[in-house]
Amino acid sequence: MSLSDADHDIVVDEIGREPTRAEAALFENLWSEHCAYRSSRPLLTAFDSEGDQVVIGPGDDAAVVSLPSHGDGEEMYITMGVESHNHPSYVDPFDGAATGVGGIVRDTLSMGAYPIALADCLYFGDFEREHSRYLFEGVVEGISHYGNCIGVPTVTGSVAFHDDYEGNPLVNVSCIGLMEPERTITAEAQEPGNKLVLVGNSTGRDGLGGASFASEDLAEDAETEDRPAVQVGDPYTEKLLIECNEALLDEALVESARDLGAAGLGGASSELVAKGGLGAEIELDRVHEREPDMNAMEYLLAESQERMVYEVAPENVDRVAELAERYDLGCSVIGELTAPGTNYVCTFEGETVVDVEAEFLGDGAPMNDLPSEEPPEQERDLPTVNLSEAFERIVASPNTASKRWVYRQYDHEVQVRTSVLPGDDAALLAIREAGTGLAFSAGADPNWTDAAPYEGARAVALENATNVAAKGAVPHAAVDCLNGGNPEKPDVYGGFKGIVDGLADMCSDLDVPVVGGNVSLYNDSVTGPIPPTPTLALVGVKEGYDAPPMDLSGEGTLVVVGDAALEGEADPRLGGSEYTAVFGGTDAFPELPADPTGLVQTIAEVADEDHVLASHDVSHGGLAVALAEMVHEDAGASVDVETVERGTRKRLLFNERPGRVVFETTDPAAVHEAFDGVAPVTELGEANGSNHLSLTVNDETLQYHASEITDLRSTIDDELA
């Protein structure tokens, strides 16, 4: 990739001369889709990012959100960020995924926070394909290696398989950080005369052109040809950087900060300067490097990992260097900030190689005005499948099967905050400083958004909100990672617009501010574009750190809330379901609740009641899969579902309308009362100590021992363990 003729002409017209080689490379990367959001920025105004809890919204390395405090708890802030490392993870799954973790953790550090939790949302081609499994294994290994080594728990996430990720998997990683309000810093330069100090790993040639690489379709030979664009991570250095960052903050030595990610030093330093409305003079010769004979462009654009650039007052530079040495990190004073109205200037070996206005470098790229086509609504065309076959194949599908193989490789209890562990609807973290429980859910469903981008994205937001509500938490804030194919294709861009609007509309309906995010386009390869994929990472808050488990106790009545179909009010649809993915066919997407806010709030309130013994949301795979997931060796259930007509049985059991929750309760009347006027409540049967699931639909009964269900759900373990 190189600077296009049109962009070249804009640059020449602005600076009044031909750009130097280093300037052209810098513009190429900072004006790429990956950095400049040229095709997506016009759409992102759809998101509501404001709220009393929002301290710093979109535009910084990570968002900052205040938490409610309970009891004697103190005021605390969290940071929220999300990053995609899609192309690198195809070329080199281990390093691509590992450096995605490293990057989002450094985004957290640059705001003044300590990283406390990670979520990984992973999307691959057909699980039956060897290449998909190779990518899957490498990505999980990379995430677990990096996260475990730096001591940050991976507590939640999602895994999905879909044919259209075969040539372009997605690796979306989210991080939550925690800090006291007075430690907050930003990526906005503060004062002329302050020094720019580079701290961390030495600079090499790895990751050159990573930003521009991420803005291109993947070629057939990408796994070999594009390997130099993939960064190589060192988690042990990142751990030292985390602790050094804490020490710098303890002594209030940092005025502003930016992590070195896309476009390397050139990207981080110019963006920091531009945000502060200042200029800078940088001497590239001062950068501590690990490879000989590097040129100016390589110093500027290498994406070597585990590096931060800090703004430091002159009188504090020596102390910063001392602390860097204590943690065995490199430290270079590379330049200083200059007055407003001055340029961003870089010199190398006595020669000026960059001399441009920082704001033009960061924000001068023109936005794209692209044509789009809306996808048609799917008609109903469903195959007839035996009920037991449908149950067994859907429960065993890699999309709905147990993901234990993934999360057992992560240390999800390091830092001893994880109250609800992976495998449940949402993780729950104990923020003891505030007396607050922080629920954390992240994911998307490509089947939903492939079938209906707008409605599917609304469903993704509702499902994540329902996940935290099922653990008794009220949705508080979210960040998104919007993944799409080549936006120059009208049908692809139409699908992308659909997921943006759908996610924005449902988050607005739920009163959940979307405080930041990431966009990844050109996820296209010789196999075609990916499904439009709106990963959402959402947090909820509650008093205390206890939550009802997903597992049945065996002592209560089972009810499902929010399922109008069981009340005979609607014809359940199977559009975007695992049923149609497994057996073929199409259908319209399920109709979503009319009052999602009232529904989610009531779910959260009821989940916290003493009479609730277990709770679990109903989504992927439908009611049948939800019930199967709740049964275990010590508790089972007897469920009886009556249908108006026999043809609706599969639609009742495998419909994936989100916003539904199964409660095991000792007081079903209280559940009915709580949801009166909000959503229908249907009694399904009783939990018991039988350690099996008995599921009767009209005159047909399915019966499975817990061990049989475990065997069905062990698809991924059986193949990869």
343 annotated as ligand-binding: no
Q: What does each C-alpha distance from 154 to 294, 425, 555 come to in angstroms? A: 37, 15, 32
Kind and range of the H or E run holding 288: none
107 annotated as ligand-binding: yes
303 annotated as ligand-binding: yes
CB 67 within 8 A of CB 464: no
409 annotated as ligand-binding: no
77 annotated as ligand-binding: no
83 annotated as ligand-binding: yes
Residue 24 has φ and ψ, to the nearest 5°, of -60, -40
How far apart are the C-alpha atoms of 623 and 660, rounded to whole Å?
9
CA neighbours within 13 Å on the CB side: how many for 313?
8
Give which of 429, 434, 476, 442 is closest to 55, Cα–Cα.
Answer: 476
714 annotated as ligand-binding: no
304 annotated as ligand-binding: yes
Task: Exactly one of 8, 70, 85, 632 is catalytic; name it.
Answer: 85
Kind and range of the H or E run holding 638: strand 636-641
380 annotated as ligand-binding: no
454 annotated as ligand-binding: no
Q: Which residues contact 512 (CB under 8 A, 6 or more apart)?
A: 461, 465, 475, 476, 477, 478, 538
632 is annotated as an active-site residue: no
525 annotated as ligand-binding: no
Q: Strand, helix or coil at 503?
A: helix
Q: Are strands 114-124 and 154-161 parallel, antiparallel or unpaired?
A: parallel
How far apart are the C-alpha atoms of 307 and 200, rounded to whole Å?
4
| Residue ranges in 479-619 assigned as alpha helix (H) | 490-509, 578-583, 596-607
Q: Which residues contact 402 (CB under 8 A, 6 or more apart)?
A: 423, 710, 713, 714, 715, 716, 717
* Token digits of residue 290: 């690990």
Task: Exactly one of 8, 34, 476, 620 is catalytic; name it.
Answer: 34
CB 680 within 8 A of CB 569: yes
| β partners of residue 64 | 56, 79
Q: Which residues contact 528 (CB under 8 A, 6 or more apart)?
A: 164, 167, 485
172 annotated as ligand-binding: no
How far apart are the C-alpha atoms of 218 and 87, rounded to whole Å?
7
402 annotated as ligand-binding: no
Q: Are strands 474-483 and 514-520 parallel, antiparallel or unpaired?
A: parallel
259 annotated as ligand-binding: yes
131 annotated as ligand-binding: no
Amino acid in position 110: S
16 annotated as ligand-binding: no
CB 472 within 8 A of CB 609: no
DSSP string, 353-368: EEEE-HHHHHH-SPPP
Q: Strand, helix or coil at 377?
A: coil
480 annotated as ligand-binding: yes
476 is annotated as an active-site residue: no
- The binding site for ATP consists of 37, 480, 517
Which residues are tagged catalytic? Answer: 34, 85
Q: Would you list which residues are annotated within the binding site?
A: 37, 83-87, 106-107, 231, 259, 303-305, 480, 517-518, 520
- Binding-site annotation: residue ranges for Mg(2+): 83, 107, 259, 518
Binding residues for substrate: 84-87, 106, 231, 303-305, 520
